[in-house]
Every structure is written in structure tokens, then in C-alpha cells.
Amino acid sequence: MDIIERSLPLFDEIVIGVGTNSEKKYMFPLEKRLAFIEGALAKHQKVSIMWYEGLTTDFCKKIQADFIIRGLRNPADFEFEKAIAHTNRLLSGIETVFLLTSAQTSFISSSIVREIITNHGDYSSMVPPSVQI
């Protein structure tokens, strides 16, 4: 949410692309994940949500996106995301824009939130109200 809200003044439109990764085990089905995102972003008229399969660059070409926005929490994120950004630019010419997460949210990751949910802990301060189940 931090990255999306800070991206709003930078772009005319933002499309949240929810990709499917056959090698990833999701905690929630696609429909539920889309509902979480839609609920969290309902007030933002410049934001739309779409799901896709396959390469992110193919999706970007299909919707005529010029940029990919990615958030960085730490140096390890940067090293990982840098390789992906170079590959995406090579494959498609699409540039990646990196924004640093705010200090208040930089420690939050999906792995941490999943662990808290699985162990019935209080994760409410780490996710938007639409995600609180």
C-alpha cells in the first residue's frame, strides 16, 4: 500500500498486475487475493487490478504499460530486483521504477505475515483492513 500510494502522483494510471506462479504455494486462492487488493484500493480511482499468467513483460506489453513499479525494503531486495529489471528491459524495453519502502513498513514481508496468520497472531497492524480475515 505504501508503494502504491506514493506512486499515485507519479503516474496517470496504475495497474496492479497479480501474476500466477506455478512454483509458489499461495495461502489464499487467486479470487480471494484479488478481493483483498480491490478492497484495499477501492478509494483510488487511478488504480485498477488485473491478473495474468506468463511473463510480466508480456502482460505489460498487452496493457501497454511503460513502467513496472517495484518496492525495495533492503539491499537484498535490490540485488534480486536489479537482475529482474535488467532482464525485463532486455526482453521488452520496459523500465522498472524502484521506490524505497517507508521506515514504518520496511520490515513487513508476506512470509512474516503468513507466519503470524498461521500461528493465530495479531497481524492487523501489518495489512489493510480488507485483508484482515
User: What is the CATH number for 122?
Assistant: 3.40.50.620
69: containing domain: 2-131
- DSSP code for 54: S
Count of the separate structural domains present in the chain? 1
Q: pLDDT (tens digit, 0 to 9) for every residue of the chain, 133 residues total?
A: 899 999 999 999 999 999 987 778 888 888 999 999 999 999 999 999 999 999 999 999 999 999 999 999 988 889 999 999 999 999 999 999 999 998 888 888 888 898 998 899 999 888 888 887 7
Give Dmax over CA atoms of the chain in angstroms: 44
How open is the CA angle 102-105-110, to the nearest 5 degrees? 135
Confirm whether pTM is higher than 0.85.
Answer: no
